[in-house]
A and B are shown apart, each in its own frame.
Chain A
Amino acid sequence: METQIQIKGLCKNFGKKQALKSVDLTIGQGMFGLLGPNGAGKTTLMRVLATLLPKSAGEVRVCGVPVEHAAEIRKMTGYLPQDFSMYGNMTACEALDYLAVLSGIPKAERRKKVPEMLEKVNLLDQKNIRVKAMSGGMKRRLGIAQAIIHDPRVIIVDEPTAGLDPEERVRFRNLLCEIARERIVLLSTHIVGDIEATCEEIAVLNHGEVVFRGTVESLLKLVENKVYSAEVSPRELDGLKERFIVTGILNRGSTATVRIIAESMPLAEAKSCSADVEDAYMFLMHSISATPVQKGSEQA
């Protein structure tokens, strides 16, 4: 059976508001990042794929199964919602076991899988901690455990690292990468660092439209030889921000080190430097706001 999500001309309307506008995407095995600002339509797309929202138009197939066949889709997908939560008075073990029952896992298998999953997400020692007493990171790890306990072929993860401390975030990203070896993991985020660290393939959504689809390298190519660093006086900052895309400012007493995206050398004293995904994303979003939809060779 194919391991692919195919989305063709997907539209989703909320009354008069168009949350998704003819989205076309093909997502293969491994980690796939969905990037975009707040309100871009990421969660709507995720919820359509998780059968929690009906589409208004278009075609969506998850591993060859049309999304309308909700019961089948639910069996093959694991979903971690943006604000994962469970009954506060259940322990980690009880919550996982309850959700496993809701996924139709028989008792003998649950007995084996629940501790296995808790161990995988490093929660076995805290299995008796109640959900209401868990930290944000622990909750997310429990969220991942519940999303994979029924061994789904597709995992949909919505903004999983928001609110986590750096250490938790790194641990969580590594966990997702491990899981993605034999599955499709669709990761939605507005945190560029998460995408950079985990995803090979990405799509950028803005106002319900796919404005970029390709590899991280192809996104980086958009800003190749366009990223510069310069030491400037703090008084010059306002002028620079008006003329260029400034992606970083580091104040150093009487001077400031700025990171600038520009088509050509912005200042005589500026030095060219290597671009990162955040620069590329900022450049892309800036280009879109200048021209309604920016489409490059690999852009959607």
Chain B
Amino acid sequence: MGALFLKECRKIAKSLVYYVYLAAFVLFITGQMSDGEWTEQLSEPQPGQESYGYGYSSDERMVMQSGLETLLREILANRFATYPFGFYKAVTLNEEELEVLKRAMEQCTGMEFEQMIEESNAYGMEISQMGAEYAEAEMWHIPIRENLSYEEFEQVMEKACEIVGSRSHYEKSSYERRGVVALTYEDALEHYRELCEDDKVSGAQMRLFCDYACIFLAVLPIFVGVSACLKDKRAKAAELIRSRSVSGAALIGCRYLANVVMCFVPVLLCALLMQMPCVYAAGQAGIQADILAFVKYSFLWLLPVIMVVLGAAFLITEATETILAIPVLLAWAFGSVFSAATLMGDFGWKLVTRWNTFGSYGRYAEELGQLYRNKGMYMALAVILVLLTVAVYEKKRRKGEMLYGKLRKNNS
């Protein structure tokens, strides 16, 4: 088994597809991770600072404000973003539907809709006149009716979702995570404490790494897996290999494991390299970084993705002996990426789990349970897919035909 595993690794290391995988991964991840903005967060916040940045809030008032502002912006453009099957689709409403939403806005704000337009336009004008200094302008926020209850707001959002369609910003899972708030000194200090004590800096950096790497790893291993499975057929060696005494479980198991290891090792190395400047910068700032964060996060976040994508690629390719796995799994990966209501958390059962921010350990800790469940489920699914691949391989070996019944060419 060990010898076969090593031989399979060597086979992969000699394949062009694998080098494309490596090059694409390194280019993509270095491009995304080269931004060093996080270094600013290594300084302890001081009282009296002009700004402590922004953070997400689950405060109902903030959620209502953010939800209504999104609704106002989309009504004004009459362009409503939806993500059916994970893909972006702009929805345009008719006058009657727009009117319903405008009335709902009035109900939530207690203002005439025309007045909202005027105030919004005035803010826009102010910003445009400020030129490069626009960041210093105080943000305009839509006024919310004093006695607006969260239940009433939820009903409005439900109505909006009904009109615009599912997978819009008005679904509960989406608007609940859109509350943005300016941080106070105390908030910023708490964030700093989380970063230093809970995340040990490198944890936050590795979550960001995993966010980008996860997108990539939901896509590129498909090609590696399909190429590995079709290699026998392309080399016209399938029959010869089936005639050997090796069991289907050993052959498929070793091939699968070799693919997982060969896809994962460069990811682990990249994670280590990406973590090094962070550990160094943390040391310079007098913070003890977690030097093993790259191992913990890569194994938890990325390995299950590689495993399940390769498992599915193996099964589909072995069953069909075609490249069908590529469009199917690409659709799955992109569907998962585009279906994300937020770029931070809300892991659910998504293949691509996002955390596109540096830090926010508190919220991460709240969702960690679901992340474990998600990753555990995908690992179990990967094992099932590999077992099914073994069954398909053995069936083909016994029957001498394709799974879907097509007879092999008979040269007798």
Contacts and interface: CB of A to CB of B under 8 A. Distances in A.
A255 B115 CA distance: 113
A150 B245 contact: yes
A170 interface: no
Contacts of A83: 236
A148 B70 CA distance: 73
B411 A82 contact: yes
Contact-residue bracket for chain A: 35 or more
Contact of A102 (B236, B239, B246, B407): B246
A150 B398 CA distance: 22
A75 B245 contact: yes
Given A53-B400, A70-B398, A102 B4 contact: yes
Given A39-B412, A41-B412, A52 B239 contact: yes
Given A54-B399, A101-B7, A85 B235 contact: yes
Contacts of A75: 245
Contacts of A220: none
Interface stretch (A43-51, A173-181, A230-238, A286-294): A43-51
A88 B4 contact: no
A102 B251 contact: yes
A47 B235 contact: no
A42 B247 CA distance: 27
A87 B231 contact: yes
B244 A103 contact: yes
Contact of B247 (A52, A71, A81): A71
Contact of A81 (B3, B239, B410): B239
Interface string A31-66: 000000001111111110011111000000000000
Contact of B237 (A52, A77, A87, A97): A87
Contact of B407 (A14, A81, A98): A14
Contact of B412 (A45, A70, A81): A45
A15 B412 contact: no
A48 to B, nearest CB: 9
A264 to B, nearest CB: 37
Given A53-B400, A82-B411, A87-B11, A74 B235 contact: no
B243 A44 contact: no
A102 B244 contact: yes
B324 interface: no
Contacts of B7: 97-98, 101
A240 interface: no
A107 interface: yes
A283 to B, nearest CB: 23
A82 B236 CA distance: 11
Interface residues of B, number: 27
Contacts of B242: 52
Interface string A86-100: 111100000001110
A51 B235 CA distance: 21
A95 to B, nearest CB: 9
A19 interface: yes
B412 A19 contact: yes
Contact of B235 (A42, A43, A77, A86): A86
A129 to B, nearest CB: 16
Nearest to B240: A81
Interface in A158-194: none
A41 B244 CA distance: 23
Contacts of B245: 71, 74-75, 102-104, 150
Interface string B231-264: 1000111011111111100010000000000000
Nearest to A74: B245
Most chain B CB neighbours (cut-off 10 Å) among A40, A43, A99, A102: A102
Interface in B105-130: none
B239 A42 contact: no
A54 B394 CA distance: 13
A86 B3 CA distance: 18
A16 to B, nearest CB: 12
A204 B239 CA distance: 25
Given A52-B400, A86-B237, A74 B411 contact: no
A223 B236 CA distance: 41
Nearest to B396: A52
A107 B412 contact: no
Contacts of B4: 101-102
Given A87-B231, A98-B7, A43 B411 contact: yes
A42 B412 CA distance: 5
Contacts of A46: 412
Contacts of B247: 71
Contacts of B3: 101, 107
Interface of A: 14-15, 19, 39-47, 50-54, 70-71, 74-75, 77, 79, 81-89, 97-99, 101-104, 107, 146, 150
Interface of B: 3-4, 7, 11, 14, 231, 235-237, 239-247, 251, 397-400, 407, 410-412
The 6 closest A-B pairs by CB, nearest first: A43-B412, A102-B244, A85-B236, A44-B412, A53-B400, A79-B243
21 contacts: A43-B411, A44-B412, A50-B243, A51-B243, A52-B239, A52-B397, A52-B400, A53-B400, A70-B397, A71-B247, A75-B245, A79-B240, A83-B236, A86-B235, A86-B237, A87-B11, A87-B231, A97-B7, A99-B244, A101-B246, A104-B246
